[in-house]
Structure 1
């Protein structure tokens, strides 16, 4: 395998948390500071208001405020990708068209959740969105949150039939499916790991990198792992991955993004708590997390 061409959106894309103030209102100043911190830490692009950004509890007008603020802070240094996915096709189209006016560089769209469409419904959903906007789209397949899996054949139909569907964040956990997509995708279609801990396995199959949770906390460390893999320095990549793996796993002791926000708070870069129905980390969870952060060397 040869990693010759840099992917359109790069290799390390943190799914940025959404900072809140003490009243759990948007903290746009902190969001801009976090975006700058992540860019300076080596991020190649940013996903704004994905699941890690608490998209279910940030309403459409607030999402637009957040996109606008991050675009200004990033100021063209890296692409800003707005999560616009929803389980209503029409709402997603209208919202994407509004977001496109703010200067974002692309969209991420998740598999529709709760209403459980069949594979043809998934195909028509994403094709309708792609036809309605003139911007690149990253698909997001995460059966653990959406209750259904977008099968490899459906992903490939979209990749071949829609020029502006350019990548997928694959979090199915099915490496056979991931390999099938990579092996049969058109040139220029990029497959990202949707789980930090699966990144090396997916890159060994030809994936390009990761849309990352831990990238909020340790972007330099995750970038090192990915760059080693892209150079096919697998032994060094495995060693760097093994050193960071306890934190990759520790951040998911409870529902994301509870602990990634707590990790930033512990690291001296507070981003506030989480909105209900999520709840903040317990003291015990915080202590365990701090111990892991010290173990892997991201907390003094």
Structure 2
């Protein structure tokens, strides 16, 4: 399955009382589809999944699948550090009609590479859904090595990798070793263009909540050989992408969305909102970003 160039790891909006705000979620889904998102990942890191109950996760995934209504692919985050639970969740979202699943490396219990492989193999053996292997060692405490990822790519329904290791060297090793029909996505917005330039497919993005179209323009410019334009977009996006991770994700991007009129600043503890200083810094960087994008468009 092809997630396109820009997939969005969607936030979960909350009411003041902490309950999921489904009305705002529907607005965000429509906003993403209209602004450069090729596919949606629901209940990933950006969705504050660690603080959602099992029933909330399932209800929100089902809601998203229904509202998207096959217009673009919906990938359900089902990964957990318990293989049996991950398999159970996979069966549930498969019945909902998910187009694929995202499975993160088991966290906290820190399995070795043989254990990581066995975890993904066990999940793959229970479903025909495409599986996104999600490597994010900064969150999980374990790195899925390039060798393990390459081994996993020999399993028929594992053909998509989300690499958030931050290592272009590791990404290069993966691209060199996996089959041609395996897509490697950056899990870091700032590395989108560098990864595409070495053969990656695109990005599973946080920033695309607010700059999906610009990220598409950057990738399109590179593909069309307009490398100076692509470089200019990358240089404009980089400060914004860094600011969106000045606090734990998704705190900054929720503030960014609030500036576009979406009431989504609420996060669940132990996350807390942005400091006023960081809000001002974001506002300044956003203004500079808009100016740079206008300049790029006027010269291309």
Please indicate the TM-score interval, normalised by the length of the shorter structure. over 0.9
Give the corresponding residue for 2:14. 20
Equivalent position of 1:36 in the other structure: 30
Q: Superposed, which structure 2 residues align to 1:155-170 within 5 Å?
A: 155-160=149-154, 162-170=155-163
Q: Which residue of 2 aligns with 1:153?
A: 147
CA contact (8 A) 1:31 1:69 kept: no
Provide, for residues 45-76 of structure 1, a one-character-per-residue CA deviation record: whole Å limited to 9, x for no partner.
Answer: 00101101111111211111111111122111
Report if aligned partners of 1:217, 1:263 keep a CA contact under 8 Å in 2: yes
CA contact (8 A) 1:21 1:272 kept: no
Moved more, 247-256 or 222-231: 222-231
Structure 2 distance, partners of 1:285, 1:24, is 23
Q: Kindly state the Cα deviation for residue 230 of structure 1 after the two structures are TM-superposed.
A: 2.9
Q: Per-residue displacement from partner, 1:184-205 (whole Å, max 9, x unpaired)?
A: 1112110001100011111111
- Find out whether 1:250 has 2:228 as its counterpart: no
Number of positions where the alignment pairs a residue of Structure 1 with one of Structure 2: 292
1:209 aligns with 2:202: yes
Please name the residue that 1:50 is paired with.
44
Alignment of 1:111-260 (within 5 A): 111-160=105-154, 162-260=155-253
Match of 1:4 in 2: none
Contact 2:190–2:237 (CA under 8 A) maintained in structure 1: no
Could you say which residue in structure 2 is the equivalent of 1:3? Answer: none
What per-residue deviation string (whole Å, max 9, x for no partner) do you get for residues 95-148 of structure 1?
111111111100011111111100000000000001111100000111111111
After TM superposition, give the deviation of residue 238 of structure 1 in Å.
Answer: 0.7
What do residues 7-35 of structure 1 show as CA deviations (whole Å, max 9, x unaligned)? 71111001011111111110112111101
The 5-angstrom pairing of residues 49-128 of structure 1 reads: 49-128=43-122
Which stretches in structure 1 are left out of the alignment for 5+ residues?
1-6
What are the ranges of 5 or more consecutive residues in structure 2 without an aligned counterpart? 292-300
Q: How far 1:170 moved relative to its partner?
A: 0.5
Q: Which residue of structure 1 lines up, in the alignment, with residue 297 of structure 2?
A: none
Secondary structure of the equivalent of 2:153? helix
Task: Normalising by structure 2, report the TM-score.
Answer: 0.94
- Between stretches 285-294 and 89-98, larger displacement belongs to 285-294
Q: Work out the CA distance in 1 between the residues paired with 2:164 and 2:233.
A: 22
TM (normalized to structure 1)? Answer: 0.94
Q: Return the match for 2:257 from 264, 269, 283.
A: 264
Secondary structure of residue in 2 paired with 1:217: helix
